[in-house]
Structure 1
Amino acid sequence: MPGRSEVGAGAGKLEGMVFGVREFELALMHRMRDLNQARVEEALRDMGASRAELREAHAHWTRLAHAPRAPKGVAALRMALGPAPYRGRRPVGSLTCDVLRWPLPSWPGLEFEALAGPGGEVWNQWFVRPAGAAALTFADLTPWTCVVADLGASFPGAVQIEGPAPHHWSVDFPHDGVTYRARFVYGLHQVLTKP
């Protein structure tokens, strides 16, 4: 679809290939599809995007990550998304890292955050709520509306667990005497199960 890939101020180009905000969102959704295919299909319809475009965005982002001349780390995110509207600093252990955040059209009210080390390498990247964690009820745990920090703030005893694949996390938490597992991709809630 000519022109579509240049949506957003942060459309980067490498050897004739364009990768911007739309493609970045699709690349994230490709990973989210692991856990919530129905929600991704709905988002594709809303965007007017095809499954082939979703696959190509993922493949393109992967190629850029391995291309010797392509930007890496924070530079790659800036290439796709433009300059970060929010920049800050945060201590992590004995080091201080840069914090960069971008709003993305498909996830209003949330922002995509990257924590970067001194050399610009990305240590973590996931969705956050810029105003801080929200207090949620069990009924509020709707896919794509809450982030990892929300669960910790809303359910005493919540325990964060590394997920089985890159960019996957889980949070186990008690509710009405039952333990549930909220599963996340890039820090964004995808599905609720029982462990």
Structure 2
Amino acid sequence: MRFGVRQFELSLMHRMRDLNPARVEDALRDMGATRAELRAAHAQWTRILHSPRAPKTLRPLLGRPAYEGTTAVGSLTCGVSRWALPSWPGLEFEVLYGPGGETWNQWFVRPGDPRALPFAELEPWSCVVADVAASFPGAVHQEGQAPHHWALDFGHGRATYRARFVYGLCQRIDPV
């Protein structure tokens, strides 16, 4: 089976299922995909990642990025590539490459500036880490509980909430 955009989306959803299984099930139904296809895509992605011939970038798998450029991280200049994926319109999957071409980070971002959102509009799969941080100044970044997981603790009203992310994409918001 050729690995392309659909398989990549499914492999991302495999990890998202950890925190938002109902949303992943809805997405599978919308895509006309099965759980078996999701598992097969994840297994194929894992084999690609651990292959000695693994590509250094996602370009051979996903095609030309929507954006390619560089960014400064401290005193280093790093490469940045971003792809638009059909399941997440308005967002892009970003890969940050170190000076030697190694992948340093990969997650969803909003092209341009983050969007400040009111609490009621923090919907799963519609906002990213930078959006929540921009919406609630003073939000505290937390490590996630598994690979590619992330969390932000923030206050709203008199309560504290934890936004949970997979690949930088909001999966759910829980009271702390």
Root-mean-square deviation (CA, aligned residues, Å) is 0.9
What is the percent sequence identity of the aligned residues?
70
Query: For residue 111 of structure 1, what is the aligned residue in structure 2?
Result: 92
Query: For residue 13 of structure 2, what is the aligned residue in structure 1?
Result: 29
Matches of residues 91-130 of structure 1 in structure 2 within 5 Å? 91-130=72-111
Query: For residue 179 of structure 1, what is the aligned residue in structure 2?
Result: 160
Matches of residues 154-165 of structure 1 in structure 2 within 5 Å? 154-165=135-146
- Alignment partner for residue 64 of structure 2, among 80, 83, 86? 83
Letter in 2 for 1:146: C
- CA shift, 1:168, in A, is 0.3
- CA shift, 1:70, in A, is 2.8
TM-score under structure 2 length normalisation: 0.97
- Alignment partner for residue 59 of structure 1, among 27, 30, 43? 43
Three-state SS of the structure 2 residue aligned to 1:88 is strand
Letter in 2 for 1:33: R
Deviating above 2 A after TM superposition, structure 1's stretches of 4 or more consecutive aligned residues are: none
- Structure 2: distance between partners of 1:178 and 1:105: 35
Q: How many residues are aligned here?
A: 176
Three-state SS of the structure 1 residue aligned to 2:9 is helix
Three-state SS of the structure 2 residue aligned to 1:19 is coil
Three-state SS of the structure 1 residue aligned to 2:2 is strand
Letter in 2 for 1:54: L
Query: For residue 44 of structure 1, what is the aligned residue in structure 2?
Result: 28
User: Is residue 2:125 matched to residue 1:144?
Assistant: yes
Three-state SS of the structure 1 residue aligned to 2:162 is strand
Letter in 2 for 1:79: P
Structure 1: stretches of 5+ with no match in the other structure: 1-16
- Structure 2: distance between partners of 1:66 and 1:129: 29
